[in-house]
Amino acid sequence: MTDAPPDFEIFLVTAPGLEAALAEEAQELGFVDPVAAPGGVTFRGTWPDVWRANLELRGATHVLVRIASLRVMHLAQLDKRARRVEWQAFLRPDVAVSVEATCRKSKIYHAGAAAQRIATAIAEELGAPVRADAPVRVLARIEDDLCTISIDSSGESLHKRGHKEAVNRAPMRETMAALLLRQCGYSGTEPVLDPMCGSGTFVIEAAEIALGLQPGRSRSFAFEQLAGFDLATVATLRRPPGPVPPLTFFGSDRDAGAIEMSRANAERAGVAASTRFQQLPIGELTRPEGPPGLVIINPPYGDRIGNKPSLAGLYRSLGDVLKRQFSGWRVGLVATDANLVRATTLPFLPPAPSILHGGLRIALHQTAPLP
Ligand SMILES: C[S@@+](CC[C@H](N)C(=O)[O-])C[C@H]1O[C@@H](n2cnc3c(N)ncnc32)[C@H](O)[C@@H]1O
């Protein structure tokens, strides 16, 4: 087996708009010089960095290992250069791979044909089977005639922590919830309340952060099937949880099914003792006992035509109850419609750059502690 190079480029994927927050998280976790780039964060590292990034980062959706950059002007050249990539340093001949390609502003414009050339190179030079439902994904991005080849070391998106079986119709992704909590200045030392909690994502994520639980503690990763994998080293990167802090994380929702889901999800995540879920319409929300903290909410966005007027009423009730009862608490409101945000009449600071997610432009609106 050829050894992998001493270090390589690692790319952490996130939604556009959240790159700076993810770079900050990577920096805090001790990865070396993470730099925000469009759609993610790059830094240089080794296999243990890749494994630790998957286990510890709450905000990345995938951890990609950049294994080659090939200048390619036509398919025959791609075919030839792809055969020279040191596949055996990263992939195993006995583990199937899939190959996906995208092309932009390049002489090679047929993504399917490009993927097929790379697949053939892997199959013939390394001997690994290539099939669509393989456990390991090889990704090629051809842009300005430069083909960047990466391996997805995560496998399933990292927002799948492995605890959530139950989801409602519009669940927030854990990775995005974690970065939004970070943008609200949450670091695990104050209570958090979500009065429209759905499946409980913000509440559970906040509790996990406070308890020092590694986000990847319960799931498997594609890197377990890559060439450099070392089980003993990965075991040393797993951390036991920290002490349980004297904090409670609160979720409520008017929907009984949502509350049932949230409780089951919190139980599976191991944070049931630190969380309280209650079925409650927003108008009946009351301030919990104890110190103030952060209220974070993503109310229904109302992108379906015709439901905006009734939603204005919902946003207004939300603003009223928070202003009446939550003096000293900060508010983070995740929304797509500036008019609905205004309907709350909450004293929002200028919003952070918007986030592109699932075809929507989402903005986080924050207040200082309410008067
Ligand atoms: C976009 S979802 C929130 C998703 C949630 N963050 C999650 O991760 O699953 C909006 C939630 O607001 C709740 N909701 C709508 N109107 C409400 C009201 N008047 N009072 C309380 N909850 C309400 C819905 O039941 C739904 O669960």
Please state the atom number of ligand 1 nearest to the C-alpha of residue 167. Answer: 9
- With vertex at residue 216, the alpha carbon angle to CA 35 and CA 180, rounded to the nearest 5 degrees, is 55
Residue 254 CB–ligand 1 contact under 6 Å: yes
Per-residue pLDDT reduced to its tens digit, 339-360 = 999 999 999 999 888 999 888 8
**Residue range 259-284: average pLDDT?**
96
Q: Which residues pair with 360 in a beta bridge?
A: 357
**Dist CA 190 CA 187 (whole Å):** 8
Looking at residue 167, what is its pLDDT?
66
Residue 255 CB–ligand 1 contact under 6 Å: yes
Looking at residue 223, what is its pLDDT?
98
**Residue range 143-158: average pLDDT?**
98
Please state the atom number of ligand 1 nearest to the C-alpha of residue 317. Answer: 19
pLDDT of residue 1 exceeding 50:
no
CA atoms within 13 A on the CB side of 343: 18
Please state the atom number of ligand 1 nearest to the C-alpha of residue 299. Answer: 10
Residue 150: name the closest of 226, 87, 66, 72 by CA. 66
Per-residue pLDDT reduced to its tens digit, 28-80 = 999 999 999 999 999 999 999 999 999 999 999 999 999 999 999 999 999 99
Sheet containing 62-71, strands listed edge to edge, beginning at the edge strand earlier in sequence: 35-37, 40-45, 8-13, 62-71, 146-152, 136-143, 97-104
Residue 316 CB–ligand 1 contact under 6 Å: no
**Dist CA 122 CA 119 (whole Å):** 5
Which residue puts its alpha carbon closest to atom 16 of ligand 1? 254
Q: Quick check: 225 and 154 in contact, CB under 8 A?
A: no
pLDDT band of 3, cuts 50, 70, 90: low
The winner for highest mean pLDDT among 27-36, 160-169, 309-318 is: 27-36
Type and span of the H or E element at 294: strand 294-297
